[in-house]
Structure 1
Amino acid sequence: MIEKLWYGKNCLFWLFIPFALLYGLIAFVRRFLYRVGMLKSWHSPVPIIVVGNLSVGGNGKTPLVVGLIEALKQKGLQVGVVSRGYGGKSDNYPLILNDTTTTAQAGDEPVLIYQRTNVPVAVAPHRSQAVQALLNQYQLDVILTDDGLQHYALERDIEVAVVDGKRLFGNGWWMPAGPMREREDRLKSVDLIIINGDSINNLATKYAHKTYTMQLTPLYAVNLLTQEKKPLSSLQNICAIAGISHPKRFFDMLEKMQANVTKTVSFADHQKFTLSLLNDVASCQQTLLMTEKDAVKCRQFAQQNWWYLPIDAQIPTPAIEQICLLLTKIQSQRE
């Protein structure tokens, strides 16, 4: 229903307009108060790169964060990551992730980022506390914040906005009438715009000097239990599941790759999986294939026939170079 309301046509749309206008007013006033200094932002001693969205839902933000981490590491930089840790609950904050940290404690995305990149990751409802916790334990050159474009309590040096190339901004309205946290004109003030996938839109023309297109490239299938890697084409009788914001993107990717998918099942974003739930979805004669984000929640009770499909973000070299130039400029200004 939400998908049709935000990205299609639904007669209930008009019922949400008053709430959307209220949301937009609150968002505007809140940002204005930070800009004029009536609400204070915490300034980090090392540069902060915020990677976020204007709209809610899966736009490819986490793969982009992973890709940026790897690119910055190749440049010789020591990188850390902070996140709110949505979907997780820890007894103590800030929480610095380690090999035993679960998604129930830290949330799906932080655990995925930590396992994929092996860089320091910290979560806290107040991201400034997570930044301080990392700096107390590590010598870092730059810190990325996974999401948080609207978290103005943390001062940022570089803003990267991710846009879904296919869905763009839906109907363009604030929540709950539409998917927007902030309106499209917020793109004027960000440093880079990354469009996830090919798209027919005017963003590349309108913001040509700072807009780049990334592609999400599927890798090999990985067995959750044994870590064996196989070409996706070798898997048969696949039951594909996705507990992400936009499951259709995952299923469309599998179809494009001509995977032998016989069944697809969508779950809510941040779905909590159990062995019994997944056994009900796929029999032992089927191959259960999931996203990497789902896999980080299922490793402790993984079965022999469970696989996941990691993806890499192919980020254009000029985008990486622009970020590095901005970092160099920021560093020189701080010295």
Structure 2
Amino acid sequence: MSKLEKIITQAWYQNKKWILIFYPLELFFSLAQKIRRFFYNTGLFKSYRADVPVIVVGNILVGGTGKTPLVMELVSVLKSAGYSPGIITRGYGGECKKYPLVVNKQSTAREVGDEAILLYRNTQAPVVVDSNRKRSANKATQLGCDVIVSDDGLQHLSLKRDIEIVVFDGQRKLGNEHLLPVGPLRENTNRLNSVDFIFINGKQNISLLQQWKFKSFRLDIKPVTLVDISSKKERGIHSLKNKKIHALVAIGNPLRFIQTLKFLGADVLPHVFDDHYFFTINDIPKDKLPVIVTEKDAVKIEVLPLTGIEYLKISAQLPEAFKIQLLKRLSHLISFNKNRLEK
């Protein structure tokens, strides 16, 4: 994260008044959004309907909120219910020139992006990378997927969706509640009226969400184990207690990772990089202290000729009440689509 980005982010979440000098740009951004949505709602811009149900997992803020762990657990829930889900993602940070691209065992983070690799390895579901949502949805359907989970894409109106899930960070909340660039919001909070489910990652104390509490759930993301990137050997997270460590992190909300390590009792020396940053050998500390990274960063570090670096494995836990509601709604969608096609 550059110095300018840090200053702007602090202004968003510490309610600095100087950021209001960009208020005219916020008005322009808001107007452009309304015009764009009007064009889609009236059919002036075309929106594609996939042959199978589409679940979009996204957020209305910039930065990390815990979306990727939620997607992974969501796919697990769908698989357990007998579905064959597929994931579509933009593959941010990837350098592939030919799309759509189906992730496989030989794919690299440099090619398809770190999140695509992470999703594929943790779900073993088809993962299709393409910024064109229509194209990626078609490819997922061709691969035999009967449900599509879109990793991000809440603002990608070119693809119709059947279920929308929004994720918030319980610590950062809604910032100063302004739209970009004055605040961190991609969309106005009234957008939450139309989504189906809202997840709050961590503390559930966002008073603004009280009017949507009937569809709000807590997302618990917990550390599970430490995994050596090279040997895949695991050790317990309790081993971090009272240990001085280096923490390398290049994700949307690095503070959450650092705080998790501190909660586990570690004395953390943080090294923060831009989201999706590709590490080099020179980025790795040369002393003998343990180096801990996120699993998302591990898929980029694993190609370096290094040993002894570990990543913190995490797991998302979804409430049973949400699972019941989701599967019930999905069953109704499939029955409706089947009847529609038969007619």
Equivalent of residue 91 in structure 1, options 86, 92, 97: 97
- Is 1:295 the equivalent of 2:302? no
**Residue by residue, what CA displacement relative to the aligned partner does 1:21-60 show, whole Å, maximum 9, x if unpaired?**
1111111111121111111101100000000000010010
Once the two structures are TM-superposed, the CA of residue 11 in structure 1 deviates from its matched residue by 4.1
Equivalences for residues 215-234 of structure 1 within 5 A: 215-234=220-239
Match of 2:325 in 1: 322
SS at match of 2:22: helix
Once the two structures are TM-superposed, the CA of residue 302 in structure 1 deviates from its matched residue by 5.2
Match of 2:315 in 1: 312
Match of 2:341 in 1: none
Once the two structures are TM-superposed, the CA of residue 133 in structure 1 deviates from its matched residue by 1.5
The count of aligned residue pairs is 330
Match of 2:77 in 1: 71
What is the percentage of aligned positions where both structures have the same residue?
38
TM-score (norm 2): 0.93
Once the two structures are TM-superposed, the CA of residue 154 in structure 1 deviates from its matched residue by 0.4
In structure 1, C-alpha distance between the alignment counterparts of 2:210 and 2:32, rounded to whole Å: 31
Match of 1:175 in 2: 180
Equivalent of residue 257 in structure 1, options 239, 259, 264: 264
What amino acid sits opposite 2:205 in the alignment? I
**Residue by residue, what CA displacement relative to the aligned partner does 1:217-272 show, whole Å, maximum 9, x if unpaired?**
1010000000000012325431111111111111111111112x341111111111
Equivalent of residue 164 in structure 1, options 169, 173, 179: 169
Match of 2:286 in 1: 283
Match of 1:25 in 2: 31
What amino acid sits opposite 1:184 in the alignment? T
Which is worse superposed, 8-17 or 191-200?
8-17
What amino acid sits opposite 2:246 in the alignment? C
User: Any unmatched runs of 5+ in structure 2?
Assistant: 1-6, 339-343
In structure 1, C-alpha distance between the alignment counterparts of 2:323 and 2:39, rounded to whole Å: 32
Once the two structures are TM-superposed, the CA of residue 207 in structure 1 deviates from its matched residue by 1.3
Equivalent of residue 146 in structure 1, options 141, 148, 151: 151
SS at match of 1:309: strand
Equivalent of residue 332 in structure 1, options 332, 335, 341: 335
SS at match of 1:59: coil
In structure 2, C-alpha distance between the alignment counterparts of 1:314 and 1:214, rounded to whole Å: 6
In structure 2, C-alpha distance between the alignment counterparts of 1:274 and 1:99, rounded to whole Å: 22
What amino acid sits opposite 1:134 in the alignment? A
In structure 2, C-alpha distance between the alignment counterparts of 1:10 and 1:198, rounded to whole Å: 23
SS at match of 1:297: helix
In structure 2, C-alpha distance between the alignment counterparts of 1:32 and 1:67, rounded to whole Å: 34
Q: Is the 8 A contact 2:165 2:198 kept in 1?
A: yes
Q: Is the 8 A contact 1:165 1:196 kept in 2?
A: yes
TM-score (norm 1): 0.95
Q: Is the 8 A contact 2:140 2:148 kept in 1?
A: no
SS at match of 1:294: helix
Equivalences for residues 78-117 of structure 1 within 5 A: 78-117=84-123
Once the two structures are TM-superposed, the CA of residue 284 in structure 1 deviates from its matched residue by 4.7
SS at match of 1:216: strand
SS at match of 2:227: strand
SS at match of 2:333: helix
Which is worse superposed, 39-48 or 28-37?
28-37
Once the two structures are TM-superposed, the CA of residue 17 in structure 1 deviates from its matched residue by 1.0
Q: Is the 8 A contact 1:225 1:302 kept in 2?
A: no
SS at match of 2:300: coil
In structure 2, C-alpha distance between the alignment counterparts of 1:35 and 1:210, rounded to whole Å: 24
**Residue by residue, what CA displacement relative to the aligned partner does 1:177-221 show, whole Å, maximum 9, x if unpaired?**
111110111000000011111131235531122111111110100
**Residue by residue, what CA displacement relative to the aligned partner does 1:139-197 show, whole Å, maximum 9, x if unpaired?**
11201000000000001000001111111111111111111110111000000011111
Once the two structures are TM-superposed, the CA of residue 326 in structure 1 deviates from its matched residue by 1.1
Which is worse superposed, 297-306 or 214-223?
297-306
Once the two structures are TM-superposed, the CA of residue 4 in structure 1 deviates from its matched residue by 1.2
Match of 1:213 in 2: 218
What amino acid sits opposite 1:316 in the alignment? P
Equivalences for residues 177-192 of structure 1 within 5 A: 177-192=182-197
